[in-house]
Structure formats: structure tokens, C-alpha cells
Structure 1
Amino acid sequence: MEAPAVTESSGDAVLASRNAPLRRRRRAQAPAQDAGTLGFEDMPDYLQDNEFIKGYYRAPDMPFKRTLWSLFDIHNETGNVWTHLLGFLVFAGLTFYVITQPPMPLAFGKRQLDQLWLSVQDRVHGMADHLHNLQGRLPHLPDLSANLHQLQERLVHNVDSLVHEVQEEVQHAAQAIHNRMHSITDNFHYATERLNTLIHEAVLDVLMWPVPRWPVYVFMAGAMICLFLSAVCHLFGCCSKHLAQIIWRFDYAGIAILIVTSFYPPVYYTFLCQSYWRIFYLITTSVMGAGAVAVSLLDVFQRTEWRAFRASMFAGLGLWGVVPLIHASVAHADIAAVRGATALDALMGALYLLGAVIYATRVPERWLPGRFDVWFHGHQIFHILIVLAALAHYRAVMLLLHWRDASGGCAASKVAPTGVADGGFGLDLGLGLHGRFPESRSAVLGGASGGAVAVEQVVETLREYALEYLGGLLSNGGGRPMATATAAAPQGGAAG
């Protein structure tokens, strides 16, 4: 009775020895996950989103405190959380940097000053009428010769009263001269102050410096909202089914917010002097973004079968940015800053689209299931590409902002710098100005060579233009000079 048992045990041993290499290979292929994590098959349906991620899942219905501390654990959401959490901190630091940095100095050469002078000239022309009135009000000195002739005639009749009468006449003439000279001085000071006021008012109506920063802050806020919401959602996405369904909606809404707010700075700055297009693009983009956020909050949008549609919707919203991008690049083809920003925004769009494709196709984990459970799976790469795309757009925004600062808003929009201090990434702007303005090296320029022109210098130069122009008006009897404003400008002005 015992022999068959021995034979059966020997057969099992032989079979086990034959299958040992197969078992070792299977163990080698299985993910060596932590004891506190689970496999894909152990997760409930609402957490089975990616069948190619085989392990390192956190247990469902974890307590809030334990979920919060899982921020420092190793699981398949660790990379997703930290890529966007670190991105949030980077953009928070860049926002503080932009707030604390002074605006880019003006970059005005003679050509830009002459262009600004044309917009100021009409107002200064009215000053000529005031100066002509002032000339008419200049007093005539008293006719002392007639008084002295009378004194000579009286000398024959009354020698004793001669000294007294001469003293009275001289005192009277001196007082009259003093009063008239005081009146001339008052009128001269009034004319000078009036001229300075006219120039300041005219310049402020045209010169926008510094350019408003709120579009930059809108983009930075949108980037931080998107990155922070994404990190929070990936951290707490293992909660109960009801909470998980709600929290993931904010992740998609954050992506839509980032895309929409990215439109604001380039549209605002490139179409700063074209209010119609600026308002049109901002309104249409805001409406489309609001629709994307609303769709993101729908229950049906959270289902797995809608993954491709989610990626397509965000890609379509991003592609809408091509329209104002092409428009701006054509309208400002001669501006180096716009060309540089266009190239950076094209890079941003390529990174977004690449990330969307990787997110939808689930590579590389699709090719080797279980090998990318923790690091470098498709969603994690998607996160990295989003941060890189946002940083590329930040550089583009800084190019456009500093271009508008350097050109005084719309005052001299043809200032075409070859580069701009990009706010922390070492991209310089050589303004290449030479002439009467000092070539100072401002901290904003980051060591770039070029002219840094203060607003006060622009106003003082325009005042010199105005004095030269008024001199021509007065010499022509109040008529407008035949020469152009550029010819009337002092030849010693800032050289372009």
C-alpha cells in the first residue's frame, strides 16, 4: 500500500523540478511591489483605469491621514503627484520673481522718439498761441526821454526844484520797470510750466509704461491651479468611489483652466494696440474654456471609455491657440520678440499634443505591462510634458511683456529687440541703441548690452523737441512750420 504513495511522491517531485525554471521566470516578471500595495486585479472597478499598470496600487478607502502620508510612500501615483507638485512650487517661485522685478526700461532711439513726437506735436502747437498772447502782454517801458525833455525846460524856471523832481521821476520809472519785469518773469514761469504739463499729458495718453502685468498673473495662477489640483487629485484619488468620481473632475477642469489662461498674455500683448482683435480672442477663448470646464464636471465624462474624447477635447482647445498665434505672427512679422514667442508657443503646443497622444495610447506601459508601474509610465510622462510646455510658454510671455515695456506699450511698437531678459532663463535682449542716452546695464536686462532709457529722459527729450518746434512757430508768426517733425527735432537727439 505504501509503494504507490512513494511512486506518486517521486512523480510530483520530478514534475516540480521540471517546472522550477518556469516559476522562477514568472516571479522575475512579477512586480516586486511593497507589502502595503495591491495588484490591478485586487482593485475595485472604479480604480481599474489602466490595465497595463499591474501593481503598486494603494488600498481603496484609505483614511484621510494615511492617504496624506502616502505622499512620501512609493506607489504608482508617486511620480504623478510629485511631478505636478514640484511644478506648482516652480511657478509659485516664478510668480514671486515677476512681482518683485522692475519693468523693462524703455528702448527708444531717435526713430522711436520721432514717432512719439508726432503724437505729441499737435498739442504743443496750441502752445504757440499762448506764447503770442504772452508777447502781446509784454509791457512797454516808460518813455524817459520825454520826461527828461520836460525837466530841461523846467530847469530855466525853477532850479531849486530840479533835484526833487528828478528823484521822483527816476523812482517812478524804476518802480514801473520792476513791476513790468516781475510780470514778465511770472508769465515766463507760467509758460514753462504749461509747456511741461502739455508734454506730460500728451506722453501719458500715448505712452503705456509699465505695461499691465495682470495677463501674466492670470496665466501663472492658471498654471498653479492646474498643477496643484492635479497633485491633489492623484494623491487622494484612491478614496471612496463617490469621492474619487468627484475629485477627478477637478483634475480635468484644471487642465482646461491652464489652457485657457495660457491664451491671455500672448493675445493681450500682441494685440495691445488692436482692441477689436484682443477682445474677440479673449472672449471666444474664455467661452470655449468655460464649456470645457463644464463638460469636465459631468458624470459621464469620467468613464474610461471617454478617455480618448477627453484627450481630444483638450487637444482641440489647445489647437484653437494656433489661430491668434498665426494672426499675431503675421501682423508683427518684423518684431523679433514676437517671432521668438511664436517659436516657443509652437514648442508648447507640440509638447501638449505629444503628452495627449502618450496619455491616450498608454505608452510605454502598453509595450511592457508591469515594468512601468512606478516610474515613467505614460501618465507620468504626460505630467512632465505639461510642466515643460508651461515653462516654454512662460518664456514666450516674458518676451512679449518685455517687448511691450521696451516700446512703451503702443508708443513705439516697432521697437524690435533681438532678445529679452526672460525672467530667469538667461535669454538676453540686446537692444543695440547708441547715442545720447547712457548705455546703462539695468538689473532687469540681466547683463545684456543695450540702451536703458528712463521715462524722464523721454519727456526731457520731447521737451527739447517742443522748444525747437515752438521757436519755428514763433519765427513764422504762429503758422505751422513747413518742415516735418523729424526735421524740426534737434539733431543732437538720441541716435537710432
Structure 2
Amino acid sequence: MCRLCTRAEAPAWAVHNPYVENGYRVTGGFRGAIRSVLMWHNETANIWSHLLGLTVFALLTTSMATGWGNAHAPALPASWIMGEEGESWDGAGGEALRATIASLASTLDAASSEEAVLLHYEPAPRWPMYVFLAGACLCLSFSGICHTLACVSAQVSSIVWRIDYVGIVTLIMASFYPVVYYSFMCVPALRTFYLVGISLFGFVVLSVMLLERFQAPKYTPFRAVLFSGLGAFGIFPLLHQTLFTWRIVPTPMVVTFWLEILMGMCYLGGAFIYARAVPERWNPGRFDVWGGTLCSHNLFHVLVVAGAYVHYRAALVLIAWRDHHRCDADATLLRTFYLDNGWLGGRHHVPWIPHGEL
């Protein structure tokens, strides 16, 4: 069983926050570390905040995979601007567009007609959402493993903290996939550019973060800046979509924009709290109680889970929109630059409808 000691008694490799004075686990070995999950110490809250978060996201993944999540996707208000000349799907413009599509589709051969049916009734691909959910589960599970086993030895601590960084970077990269994919679903060049860009940026950040010289506690602010910089990359596709892509911005994109702002506030707020060791730096030792519940690292954990859930809700809005409005929304609401220069494309392109007729 792990014994608990003060910061002065703990070995240097076990201390990652100079403002946490008590509750350090040492010399417990793997078995003692695992048993300590049910003990009170300064990592209890860090372990359980992400184990509970993992449970939530595992249930969300199961829900999506079994169809329950699809059947209970958010119902978008009919008054929202989602396509068809800036009117809702239930509006008169939407009826006219459906009649036009039906008339034109009837002139196609059987194969083309089948593709036209899939255009409006085949659900949007779910794989980008699964990428995000898998990234969230991986991050939360790696975090739980890290905070459980970091007390075993100096070597194990060095390894599991790197695993924790891998999980965080994976979550940040995976978070981009559903929002970028569904936003730019019918503009494949931009979709690919942003997804490849964030993936490459993420691998660069991870390569730097895994270097031995940046493992010391004094580099905590530096690591927080790297995490924040990687996450801040998301402002580019978000602003691109909201300000420079649409002639009339679809309401789901506006809602997603504000949800993503809220998510960013959670992530950046958590990173700031983590980097500045707030609030324990103001009163060292005072916030070690209750398993470190009020320490900066656990507050960071809680905000990460909250931000990830907000992001999940934003992605659900986009999925519900794309399920019922594939590229008809892009064909009617995109700026003419994208339509006139062949940016609208991909599997869901509607080549038989000149955009000027919509």
C-alpha cells in the first residue's frame, strides 16, 4: 500500500507542483498505485475526474454506435437558415427546391437517380465524430493511467507523463475533425487543407513536448502554451467558415461558432489555471484537502471534460444539419467565388443544378 508523505519527504521526481504540500504517494509499486485509486491523496481528484469523464464519453460513443445517438440527435428549429435560398427546409423556398430537384433527377438514368436519392436521405458520415470520441476516450484514459501510476518510480513517472501529453495532443487534434469535416463537407480542398494542417501541427507539438529537456516542472507554462497554441489553430477554420465562406451564414454554423467559443474558453481557461497553479499558489498546502479537488490540475481536468462535451454538442448540431441538408445548403448559400471557381465538389456535389437557378 502506498504511504503518504509531505512534499519535503517526497523524492524530487514525484513533485510536479511546488504549491502542493501534502498527500504524496511513494514506494507503493504498481499494485500499491492501483490500490491507491480508492484512497485519499493529492491525486485522487485528478484520477477520478477523468475516469468519470471517460465513462461519459464511452457512453456517448456507444450511443452513437448503436444508433441511439443518431435517433436522438438535436431537432433543429424550422426557423433556422439551413439552405434553399436562405430559408428553412420547411419553408416555401425549400419546397420549390425539392420540386426542382425531383424534376431534374427524373431525367437521369437509374444509377444517377440512386445517387440523387442518397444525396438527401443518406446520413452524413459519422467517422469524424468517432475520431473525436476516440480521441476524448484516449485522452481521458491516458490521464487516468498517468495520475494513477506516476508514483511508482522515477522511470515510470517519466513515461506516464509523456503518455498524458500524447493523450492531450490527440484530443486537441481529434476535436478538429467533426467541426472541420461537416463545415467544409462540400468544399473538399479546404476540408483537406485544415485537417492535414492540424494533424501535422499536432505531430510537431507532440515531438517537441516529448523531448527530455521539457519534462521538468519549470516547463509547465511552456507546455501549457504549446497546448493552447495547438488549440488556437482552430480559430482559422472557424473564422474562415463564419466570415469568408457563406453568402448567408447557415444558422447551425452560427450556433456552432458560439459553442466553439465556449469550448475554447473552457480549454484556454483550464490551461491558464494549470500554468499559473491557481489557486494553490496563493496559499500553498491549503488546497491539498479533499484529494486535491480544488487544485489547478484538477480544475484543468474538469474544464477539459466540460469543453469536450460542449464540442460534442456543437458537432451534433452540424451532423443534424448535414443529415438533412447536404450540399444543397452549399449550392445556395456559399459565396459565388466558391461556386464559380469550382470549389464546391466531392461525393455530395449537385452538378445538375446550376447555382444561378436556385
| CA deviation after TM superposition for structure 1 residue 342, in Å | 0.7
1:352 partnered with 2:267: yes
Q: Which moved more, 1:93-102 or 1:247-256?
A: 93-102
Whether the 8 Å CA contact 1:52–1:365 is kept in 2: the answer is yes
The one-letter code of the counterpart of 1:367 is W
Q: 1:111 Cα deviation (Å)?
A: 2.5
- 1:219 positional shift: 0.3
The answer (yes or no) to whether the contact 2:29–2:153 under 8 Å persists in 1 is no
Q: Residue 52 of structure 1: CA displacement?
A: 0.9
SS in 2 for 1:40: coil
Counterpart AA for 1:112:
G
- Identify the residue that residue 210 of structure 2 maps to in structure 1: 297
Asked if structure 1 preserves the Cα contact closer than 8 Å seen for 2:46 and 2:293, the reply is no
Corresponding letter in the other structure for 1:390: A
- Assess, with a 3 A threshold, how the Cα gap between structure 1 residues 355 and 485 changes in structure 2: closer, same or farther: closer
Whether 1:227 aligns to 2:227 is: no
Partner residue of 1:389? 307
Equivalent-residue separation in structure 2 for 1:75 and 1:45 (angstroms): 17
| Secondary structure class of the residue paired with 1:58 | strand
Q: Unaligned 5+ residue runs, structure 2?
A: 77-88, 334-355
Q: Check the 8 A contact 2:120/2:323 in 1, yes or no.
A: no
> CA-to-partner distance for each residue in 1:353-411, whole Å, 9 max, x for gaps?
1111111111111111111113201111111110111011011000111011121x213
| Contact 1:208–1:410 under 8 Å retained in 2 | no
Distance 2:252 2:105 in 1: 32
Matched, 1:410 2:321: no
Letter in 1 for 2:45: G
- For residue 203 of structure 1, report the CA deviation from its aligned partner: 1.4
Counterpart in the other structure of 1:275: 188
Matches within 5 A, 1:144-155: none
Given candidates 112, 119, 125, the residue that maps to 2:94 is 112
Pairing of 1:49-88 with structure 2 (within 5 A): 49-59=16-26, 61-88=27-54
Shift of residue 209 of structure 1?
Answer: 1.8
In our comparison, the structure showing a higher alpha carbon Rg is 1
Matches within 5 A, 1:156-175: none
Bigger drift between 112-121 and 230-239 goes to 112-121
Tell me, yes or no, if the aligned pair for 1:229 and 1:250 is still in contact at 8 Å.
yes
How does 1:361-380 map onto structure 2 within 5 Å?
361-373=276-288, 374-380=292-298
- Structure 1 distance, partners of 2:93, 2:111, is 22
Percent identity over paired residues: 38
Give the alignment of 1:9-88 within 5 angstroms. Answer: 36-59=3-26, 61-88=27-54
Tell me the CA shift for residue 117 of structure 1: 5.0
Confirm or deny: 8 A CA contact 2:255 2:314 kept in the other structure: yes
* Alignment-derived partner of residue 308 in structure 1: 221
Unaligned runs of at least 5 residues, structure 1: 1-34, 127-193, 417-483, 487-496
Q: Deviations over 1:133-168 (max 9, x none)?
A: xxxxxxxxxxxxxxxxxxxxxxxxxxxxxxxxxxxx
What displacement does 1:68 show? 0.4
Distance 1:125 1:49, change over 3 A: closer
Superposed counterparts of 1:417-496, under 5 Å:
none
Aligned residues of 2:43 and 2:147 also touching (Cα < 8 A)? yes
Supply the AA of the counterpart residue of 1:358: I
Q: Is the 8 A contact 1:253 1:292 kept in 2?
A: no
Match of 2:296, as an amino acid? Answer: G
**Equivalent position to 2:319, from 401, 426, 429:** 401
Tell me the CA shift for residue 257 of structure 1.
0.5
RMSD between superposed Cα atoms in Å:
2.6
Contact 1:37–1:58 (CA under 8 A) maintained in structure 2: yes
Task: For residue 412 of structure 1, report the CA deviation from its aligned partner.
Answer: 4.2
Call closer, same or farther: CA 1:240–1:201 in 2, change over 3 Å: same
Partner of 2:86: none
Residue pair 1:352, 1:385 contacting (<8 A) in 2 also: yes
Letter in 1 for 2:36: S
SS where residue 226 of structure 1 aligns? helix
Mean Cα deviation higher: 222-231 or 296-305: 296-305
Amino acid at match of 1:88: L
User: Retained in 1: the 8 A contact 2:105–2:113?
Assistant: no
Q: Distance in 2 between matches of 1:299 and 1:199?
A: 57
Shift of 1:235: 0.6
Deviation at 1:255, TM superposition (A): 0.7
Query: Hey, what's the Cα distance between the residues in 1 that align with 2:192 and 2:132?
Result: 17
Instruction: Give TM-score, length-normalised by structure 2.
Output: 0.81
Conservation of the 8 A alpha-carbon contact between 2:14 and 2:24:
no
Amino acid at match of 1:410: C
CA offsets, 1:295-315, max 9 Å, x none?
232212211222111000010
Q: How does 1:129-208 map to 2 (within 5 A)?
A: 197=110, 200-201=113-114, 203-204=116-117, 206-207=119-120
Q: Structure 1 residues 306, 56: closer, same or farther in 2, change over 3 A?
A: same
Amino acid at match of 2:257: T
Amino acid paired to 2:151: C
Matched-pair contact (CA < 8 Å) for 2:54–2:137: yes
Looking at structure 2, the residues matched to 54 and 328 of structure 1 have their Cα atoms a distance apart, in angstroms, of 47
Secondary structure of 2:125's aligned partner: coil
Give, in whole Å, the separation in 2 of the partners of 1:255 and 1:395: 20
Cα distance change of structure 1 residues 415 and 391 upon mapping to structure 2, 3 Å threshold: farther
| Structure 2 CA distance for partners of 1:411 and 1:302, relative to 1, 3 Å | same
Task: Provide the residue aligned with 2:251 in structure 1.
Answer: 336
